[in-house]
Structure 1
Amino acid sequence: MPTLYHSPNSRSTSILLLIEEMGVSDRIDVIDVSIARQDGSGGPDADNPHPEKKVPFLTDGDDHVRERGAIIAYLTDMFPDAGLGRPVGHPQRGKFLSWLFYYQGVMEPVLVLDWAGIEHPALQATFRDRNALVARLAEALKDQPYLLGQEYSAVDLLLSSPFQWLPDAAPEQPSIQAWIKRCTARPAFAAAMARENAAAPA
């Protein structure tokens, strides 16, 4: 059985949400581990097999997967009937993978740099900036409710995730705001948050 190493209210929460959305919580073991937090709490957990003691980390027999985009691609390929991925041969396979890699390679770095107040022409030339990121999302959502069209997918789950944690950082464009609300209004989101709140230390 695949095993997800997870820490409540962290980046791995999006993978927990994916498991809820796919309806496969009985087919994936979830093990909570501690991690070092930005506020100085927590710390490395000896039970976490991630080489850097981070989360999420997925093991599947002798294989393993790290980084959220890779884990999402792996799990949606493993459970194609859930409909949240785009399997090999699907006409949107390329778009699906492109958004996953865009998040990991562009969106998260841009948001972290913006939050930290770090600017440099080399960074903007490599990753673009927040304005370019917002324009990219707004263009994709201009005439459709979700990034791949009319149906919610795992790319919506991943790319909306930072704005669920930091709503004040969400772009003010109406199309993006409406998209975030659609993503957080799903029953699986409420179920995943209930699990996180129950597991979080008092």
Structure 2
Amino acid sequence: MPTLYHAPFSRSTTLLVLIEEMGLTDRIELCEVAVTRRDGSGGPDPRNPHPEGKVPYLVDGTDALSERGAILTYLTDRFPEAGMGCPVGDPQRGAFLGWLFYYQGVMEPVLVLDEAGCDHPVLRATFRDMGAVTARLEAALARGPYLLGARYTAVDLLLSSPFHVMPEAIPDRPAIRDWIRRCAARPAVAAVTAREMATLAG
């Protein structure tokens, strides 16, 4: 059985929502670990095998992987019947992978740099800026309620995730705001949030 190393209300929460959406709560073992938080609290946990002490980290037999986009791809490929991915041969497989890599390689760095107030011509040339991210999301959502069209997938889960905890970063565009609301209103999000709150409450 795969094991997901997780810390409440962290980047790994996205994976908990995916597991809930896919109906895999009894097929993925969770191991809750401590991590160093942005405010300096917490710290490394010796139970966490992630080489940098971060989450998420998925161990499946002798295989292991980090990075949300990679884990999302791995789980949606392993359990294609759950319908949250685009398996090999799907006509939207390329678009699915493109969005996941875009998030990891462009969108999240842009969000972090924008939050930190960092700006430089090299950064803009490499990653673009929030205006470019907004334009790309808006163009995709002009074709349907979700990034791949009519169907909600792991792409929507990942790319909407930062806006659930950083509402101040939400672009002032109706299509994007409505998409984020649709993603946040998923029953899986409510279920995971309730469990995370209960965990923190002790």
TM-score in same-fold range (> 0.5): yes
What TM-score, normalized by structure 2, do the two folds share? Answer: 0.98
Number of residue pairs matched by the alignment: 202
Contact 1:3 1:60 in 2 (8 A): yes
2:37 is equivalent to residue 37 of structure 1 = yes
What's the % identity of the aligned pairs? 65
Equivalent residue letter for 1:157:
L
- Find the aligned partners of 2:185 and 2:201 in 1 and give their Cα distance: 25
Aligned to 1:191: 191
Aligned to 1:90: 90
2:143 is equivalent to residue 143 of structure 1 = yes
Following TM superposition, by how much is the alpha carbon of 1:143 offset from its aligned partner in structure 2, in angstroms? Answer: 3.0
Contact 1:15 1:72 in 2 (8 A): yes
Following TM superposition, by how much is the alpha carbon of 1:201 offset from its aligned partner in structure 2, in angstroms? Answer: 5.4
> SS at the partner of 1:189?
helix
Aligned to 1:7: 7
Following TM superposition, by how much is the alpha carbon of 1:63 offset from its aligned partner in structure 2, in angstroms? Answer: 0.4
Query: Moved runs in structure 1, 4+ residues, more than 2 A?
Result: none
Contact 1:9 1:200 in 2 (8 A): no
Aligned to 1:77: 77
Output the aligned Cα RMSD: 0.8
- Find the aligned partners of 1:107 and 1:143 in 2 and give their Cα distance: 20
- Find the aligned partners of 1:80 and 1:145 in 2 and give their Cα distance: 22
- Find the aligned partners of 2:98 and 2:78 in 1 and give their Cα distance: 19
What TM-score, normalized by structure 1, do the two folds share? Answer: 0.98
- Find the aligned partners of 1:134 and 1:78 in 2 and give their Cα distance: 32
Deviations 1:90-147 (A, max 9, x none): 0000000000000000000000000000001111101111100001001110131000
Following TM superposition, by how much is the alpha carbon of 1:200 offset from its aligned partner in structure 2, in angstroms? Answer: 2.0
Contact 1:4 1:58 in 2 (8 A): yes
